[in-house]
Amino acid sequence: MSTAPDSVVVIGLQWGDEGKGKIVDLLGADADFVVRFQGGNNAGHTLVVEGHETVLHLIPSGALHANTVCVIGGGVVVDPLVLMEEMRALAARGYELAPERLRVSREAHVILPYHKAIDQARERLRGKGKIGTTGRGIGPAHEDKVARTGLRMVDLCDESAFRSRLEQSFREKNAYLKDVLDDRVLDHGALVDELLECGKVLAPYVTDTSSLLHEALVAGKRVVFEGAQGAMLDVDHGTYPYVTSSNTGVGAAAVGAGVAPRLLNTVIGISKAYTTRVGSGPFPTELNDSWGERLRRDGGEFGATTGRPRRCGWFDAAVVRKGVRLNGVDYLALTKLDVLTGIDPIPVCTGYRRDGASVDGLPASASELETVEPVFEHCPGWREDLSTMRTAGELPAAARAYIDKVESVTGVPVAIVSVGPGRDQTIFLRSFD
């Protein structure tokens, strides 16, 4: 693999779970910094190194590289209890993250116990109309952020101010939980003390990450920006309301990391060779049959954060094209190509129609997107095991033809192909110019 650009943004182009963690881990080998810029511990990035699986929820996917500094940017909402548990789990496996290797933005908002309680209570009340959140408190934390009532990491490190504001917030949120959501209230005394202990431990890690990253980029350091969810989960541009609570694209990389957009060089969009999504919402190519079960089984399609089975369907070029357009993608990384082995022919959705007429792009209305009919082209399949292949020349002609089809229907060259979960199960087709 050639040296990566000075700065590269890794973006998911579907509904998340595209394999961003693996690609970031690969790029992180040559990176000085790896930066999470949005989302929270609703993300689950799975890394497989020498057969050992590591799932990261908050800490960036550069954590397994000894010389890479991991940064949690101001656009991330941080559950301090989850962060500390993740740090302990990594340390137990020999990946000690001292403050020199993990920096947390002082501006990042804190997920608090009442955020999680509200999130879960709302989903219960929605019943069949639930959004399908992870229940981790992400949405309510963003609500407080926008309402300007949130608490940030800088506050967590100020014991007296944090205690006063948090106790007031608990009283207000408990009233909401009891009187509006008809749920149990939280005994906040012990929770406040536990959070303040977190603040003492995390204080050495909390810093001005915006300035740190600006200086690194200006100095020509290699920085990888890691998206947490996919483009179709973007709160503004995704399949609303079945979305996450933040912007998930390149624009959010600049804002969430606190760096100037002009300092971002290259955008790599990640897409599976088929399509999955977790939770509710429209999914035009979804397979509610044995093919869907096969993709789920062979692809191990169960959520890394929740364990929920993922909904599976054929590759949807209309979805990926929108992600490409929104993010100015330079290259694609195509993951899980090996999962398609033995399927012949392989359908590829090239667009939609409704009532016999072509549909332009993705409808903004979720109810309209539910009614479209996918238009398929079919590619020949292959039977060879791709998981042991490491060069483009080893790929069977049909697999290479499938890659060519993906390039054709998305308009973007494929630079990386993943043929298994392991770090070494990767084929590089192009260098980053």
Q: Which of 205, 228, 263 is the last residue of a domain?
A: 205
Residue 105 pLDDT > 90: yes
Other C-beta atoms lying within 10 Å of the C-beta of residue 312: 26
pLDDT tens digits for range 207-252: 999 999 999 999 999 999 999 999 999 999 999 999 999 999 999 9
CB 29 within 8 A of CB 65: yes
- The phi, psi pair for 140, rounded to 5°, reads -60, -35
What CATH number is attached to the domain comprising 418?
Answer: 3.90.170.10
Q: Distance (Å, rounded) from C-alpha 329 to C-alpha 239?
A: 20
Q: Which of 147, 171, 205 is the last residue of a domain?
A: 205
Q: Distance (Å, rounded) from C-alpha 417 to C-alpha 140?
A: 37
What CATH number is attached to the domain comprising 167?
Answer: 1.10.300.10
342 falls within a domain: yes
pLDDT at residue 5 in the model: 62
374 shares a domain with 259: yes
CB 4 within 8 A of CB 206: no
Tokens describing residue 226: 């890691």
Residue 352 pLDDT > 90: yes
pLDDT tens digits for range 245-268: 999 999 999 999 999 999 999 999
The structure's pTM equals: 0.93
Q: Which of 145, 178, 205 is the last residue of a domain?
A: 205
* 418: Cα within 13 Å, side-chain hemisphere: 27
pLDDT tens digits for range 43-102: 888 888 877 888 899 999 999 999 999 999 999 999 999 999 999 999 998 899 999 999
Residues annotated as catalytic are: 17, 45
Tokens describing residue 98: 């001292």
pLDDT, the chain, mean: 93
CA torsion sign for 144, 150, 152, 156 is: negative
Nearest to 112 by CA among 93, 134, 136: 136
CB 273 within 8 A of CB 402: yes
Tokens describing residue 399: 């697999």
What DSSP designation does 31 have?
-
Q: How many domains does the chain have?
A: 2
Residue 1 pLDDT > 50: no
CB 84 within 8 A of CB 90: no
- The phi, psi pair for 110, rounded to 5°, reads -100, 130
Cα 258 versus chain centre, distance: 19
Q: Three-class SS of residue 179?
A: helix
Domain residues for the domain of 68 are: 7-95+209-428
Tokens describing residue 361: 């792009």
